[in-house]
């Protein structure tokens, strides 16, 4: 499991997300939303990447965050 709580650019995470998905893992924002690579290059919502755990259960355990705050 990897948690990134601050602002990050999508180009910094897209390759890792592709590899993680190919291996059966999952990457979302901290709120559990899929990361949309179209439009803005910014991903202000942080990210959660998991492998071999229930991703949704981990999302539910994370504290609520305002995506506009770093």
Q: Determine if residue 66 is labeled as part of a ligand binding site.
A: no
CB 17 within 8 Å of CB 27: yes
Nearest to 33 by CA among 50, 46, 16: 46
Residue 57 Cα distances to 28, 30, 60, angstroms: 13, 12, 5
Binding site members for Mg(2+)? 12
Binding site members? 12
């Amino acid at each position: 499991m990897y948690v990134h709580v601050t602002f990050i650019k999508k180009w910094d995470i897209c390759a890792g997300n592709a590899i993680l998905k190919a291996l059966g893992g999952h990457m979302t924002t901290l709120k559990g939303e899929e990361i949309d690579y179209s439009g803005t290059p910014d991903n202000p919502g942080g990210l959660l990447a998991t492998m071999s755990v229930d991703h949704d259960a981990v999302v539910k355990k994370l504290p609520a965050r305002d995506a506009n705050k770093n």
